């Protein structure tokens, strides 16, 4: 039987940490953003960003999850590390390689209202400053500081995913604010979702801001 892997293609602050916790609570060994010591048995991976490991293995052997075989779920997969940003969720070749090597994969893209997501990015530490000073797909250096720039970037990413998958049932755009989010996610991955809530919430969050990770 094909092994279930759940890979989130959502943007930072879209509910990525909440999804990661939900997958963990539902019995999937899940990594979110970075490989902390308590998560992996592989000493050489400790402290590395998930995105960087994915790219290293993609270029080394073609399979972005080759050394991440311990994990069933992936919450936040991007790394906005100064001088070395990596966004696998915006790279069609990376997504295609994961699907080809792991036919049991289910892709999810955590989604929330773009304006609320943009505001959450502003309130999360120095995320917007890092967006401006690093080149990421769709946002060259110097862009991302203005609201309209972030909105165009956010909307463009989810439109890209909708077009890329073209209605394929391996993909779900998951509205984290939908009252039926647990049921929608459970149906998509074929698992009962034991928990859904708010994780990694912004301090003094407003406007219904949900969880995510920088």
The total domain count for the chain is 1
Q: What is the pLDDT of residue 172?
A: 98
Structural domain includes residue 200: no
Structural domain includes residue 203: no
Q: What is the largest CA-CA distance in the chain?
A: 48
Q: What is the pLDDT of residue 207?
A: 34
Is 203 a residue whose pLDDT tops 90?
no
In the structure, what pLDDT confidence band is assigned to residue 211 with cuts at 50, 70 and 90? very low
Q: What is the DSSP string of the chain?
A: -PPPEEEE-PPTTSSHHHHHHHHHHTT--EEBSB--TTT-S-GGGTT-BHHHHHHHHHHHHS-TTGGGTT-SEES---B--TT--B-GGG-HHHHHHHHHH-TTEEEEEEE--HHHHHHHHHHSTTHHHHHHHS-BTTB-TT-SSSHHHHHHHHHHHHHHHHHHHTT-TTEEEEETT-TTHHHHHHHHHTS--------SPPTT--TT------
Residue-wise pLDDT for 39-48, tens only, equals: 999 999 999 9
In the structure, what pLDDT confidence band is assigned to residue 205 with cuts at 50, 70 and 90? very low
Whole-structure pTM value: 0.92
CA nearest to 208, candidates 120, 138, 130, 108: 120
Q: What is the pLDDT of residue 20?
A: 97
Alpha-carbon torsion 106, 107, 112, 116, what sign?
Answer: positive
Structural domain includes residue 182: yes
Residue-wise pLDDT for 92-115, tens only, equals: 999 999 999 999 999 999 999 999
Rounded to whole angstroms, the Cα distance separating 34 from 97 reads: 21
Structural domain includes residue 208: no
Percent of the chain with pLDDT over 70: 93
Q: What is the pLDDT of residue 199?
A: 79
Could you tell me the two tokens for 25?
A: 């609570």
| Domain span at 87 | 5-189
Structural domain includes residue 121: yes
Q: What is the pLDDT of residue 31?
A: 98
In the structure, what pLDDT confidence band is assigned to residue 69 with cuts at 50, 70 and 90? very high
CA nearest to 92, candidates 162, 5, 13, 197: 162
The average pLDDT across 52-81 equals: 97
Structural domain includes residue 110: yes
Q: What is the pLDDT of residue 82?
A: 87
Task: Name which residue leads in pLDDT, 86 or 205.
Answer: 86
The average pLDDT across 116-130 equals: 95
CATH number for the domain spanning 36: value is 3.40.50
In the structure, what pLDDT confidence band is assigned to residue 52 with cuts at 50, 70 and 90? very high
- Non-local (6+) Cβ contacts of 97 within 8 A are 58, 62, 63, 64
Structural domain includes residue 58: yes
Q: What is the pLDDT of residue 81?
A: 86
Asked if 12 and 213 count as a contact pair (C-beta separation under 8 A), the reply is: yes
Structural domain includes residue 211: no
């Amino acid at each position: 039987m094909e092994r279930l892997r759940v890979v989130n293609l959502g943007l930072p602050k879209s509910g990525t940490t909440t999804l990661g916790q939900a997958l963990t609570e539902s019995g999937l060994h899940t990594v979110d953003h970075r490989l902390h010591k308590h998560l992996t048995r592989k000493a050489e991976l400790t402290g590395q960003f998930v995105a960087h490991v994915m790219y290293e293995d993609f270029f080394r052997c073609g399979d972005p999850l080759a050394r991440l075989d311990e994990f069933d779920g992936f919450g936040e997969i991007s790394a906005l590390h100064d001088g070395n940003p990596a966004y696998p969720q915006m790279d069609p070749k990376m997504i295609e390689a994961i699907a080809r090597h792991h036919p049991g994969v289910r892709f999810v893209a955590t989604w929330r209202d773009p304006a609320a997501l943009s505001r959450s990015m502003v309130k999360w530490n120095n995320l917007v400053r890092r967006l401006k000073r690093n080149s990421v797909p769709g946002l060259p250096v110097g862009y991302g500081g203005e609201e309209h720039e972030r909105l165009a970037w956010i909307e463009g990413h989810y439109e890209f995913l909708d077009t890329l998958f073209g209605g394929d049932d391996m993909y779900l755009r998951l509205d984290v604010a939908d009252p039926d989010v647990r049921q929608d996610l459970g149906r998509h991955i074929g698992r009962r979702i034991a928990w859904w809530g708010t994780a990694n919430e912004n301090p003094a969050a407003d406007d219904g801001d949900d969880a995510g990770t920088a």
